[in-house]
Amino acid sequence: MSNALLEVKNLTMQFGGLKAVDGLSFKVNKGELAGLIGPNGAGKTTVFNMLTGVYLPTMGSVHLEGLVLNGKKPFQISHLGLTRTFQNIRLFKGLSVIENVLIAGHQHVTYGLFNSFFLGPKFRAEENELFNSARELLKLFDLETKENEKAGSLPYGEQRKLEIVRALMTKPKVILLDEPAAGMNHSETHSLMDLIARIRTEFNLTVLLIEHDMKLVMGICENIIVLDHGCKIEEGNPGKIQNSKKVIEAYLGVDEDAAENGRAH
């Protein structure tokens, strides 16, 4: 009985003549904080899109707690406990901060049209609960004072945080973070690292993240999967990855002076 919460077997994505992802297999264990790295164009976001149902894999399968995910619609996958953030922030920019979070809580709402029209007790109770949960989450991320501001007007770093808050509102088991530190400076990245480690523990989550910032990846990831041109070229803990010749070559090319640690590309 494996501890794998999320498992991917022989995953392949073919766009016409291009194989974006080729025969990828890996596991993420329950409670693990894993990283998916690789040079630009390696196919990382494509993998996320296949995990979340945006793309239908050409071949292979995705499993969550043993349940097959590929072929399911994105909203169904969300209901099963897999959620994500986006590389290019996809907040509901015209809506307020709290509305963004409340919408993610919709899947847990049980009242119908009727109740909402007559303002019945079920409606009031569930709405209260929704608002309270949303506010608690926002507070955790220091966003509670901006509740009614338009999401699009937030500074970049806070927009990224809001995306994570929104994803957490779906009460997920697994959260996929697509380049959460993109555009952040050193101190922001540092806070983010703490935040991710914290939410993993506090919310009992399993985390898989895509990142280019090696300090973050090596700092918090327990298992790292390295992709290049759609194939897995290495997998292991930070130490193993940092010392892997294959990984260094993938990022920097062959016959170059390789930097031992620190930023890659």
Partner 1 sequence: MQDFLQHMINGLSLGSIYALIALGYTMVYGILQMINFAHSDVYMVGAFAAFYAAKWLGIENSPGFSTLIILLLVSMITCSLLALAIERLAYRPLRKAPKLNILITAIGVSLLLEYSGQVIFGADPKVFPEVLNDSILAEIGIVQLKLSDVTVLGVSIVAMLVLHWLIQSTKVGKAMRAVSLNANVASLLGINVNRIISFTFIIGSSLAGIGSVLVGMKYPKIEPLMGMMIGLKAFVAAVLGGIGSVPGAVLGGIMMGLSEEMVVGYLSSTYRDALAFGILIVVLIFKPSGLFGKSSVEKV
Partner 2 sequence: MKFLKNPAISFSALMILGIVLDFGFNAYIQLTVLFVLVNCMMAMSLNLVNGYTGQFSLGHAGFMAIGAYFSAYASLNFPVLPGVLSILSFTIYAFIGGGLAALFGYIVGLPSLRLKGDYLAIVTLGFGEIIRVALQNLNFLGGARGISGIPSLPEIRLGGFVLDRFFVSYSFAIFWCLLCFFVIWRLMKSSHGRSFLSVREDEIAAEAMGINTTKTKVRAFVLSSFFAGVAGAMFAHFTNYISPSSFTFLMSVNAIIMVVLGGMGSMSGSVCAALFITILPEALRSLKDFTGVDLRMVIYSLSLILVMLLRPQGMFGEEEITDLWRRYVKRSS
Whole-number Å distance between alpha carbons of 63 and 46: 16
- In the bound complex, what is the minimum distance in angstroms from residue 219's beta carbon to partner 1? 27
The item of partner 1, partner 2, none sharing an interface with residue 130, based on CB under 5 to 8 Å by kind, is partner 2
**Position 49 contacts partner 1 (CB under 8 A):** yes
Residues 39-68 that bind partner 2 (CB under 8 A): 52-54
Question: What is the rounded (10 degree) CA torsion for 70, 75, 78, 82?
Answer: 30
Whole-number Å distance between alpha carbons of 41 and 230: 8
Whole-number Å distance between alpha carbons of 147 and 130: 14
- In the bound complex, what is the minimum distance in angstroms from residue 181's beta carbon to partner 2? 20
| 19 to 7, 16, 37, 48, 122: CA distances (angstroms) | 20, 8, 18, 15, 50
- In the bound complex, what is the minimum distance in angstroms from residue 193's beta carbon to partner 1? 25
Phi, psi of 192 (to 5 degrees): -65, -40
The item of partner 1, partner 2, none sharing an interface with residue 70, based on CB under 5 to 8 Å by kind, is none
**Position 223 contacts partner 1 (CB under 8 A):** no
- In the bound complex, what is the minimum distance in angstroms from residue 135's beta carbon to partner 2? 15
Question: Which residues are 159's β-sheet partners?
Answer: none
Residues 59-98 that bind partner 1 (CB under 8 A): 86
Between 230 and 238, CB nearer to partner 1: 230
Bridge pairing between strands 33-37 and 223-228: parallel
Choosing from 29, 30, 54, 231, the residue that interacts with partner 1 (CB under 8 A) is 54
Q: How far does CA 45 lie from the centroid of its chain? A: 10
Binding site for partner 1 (CB under 8 A): 15, 45, 49, 54-55, 86
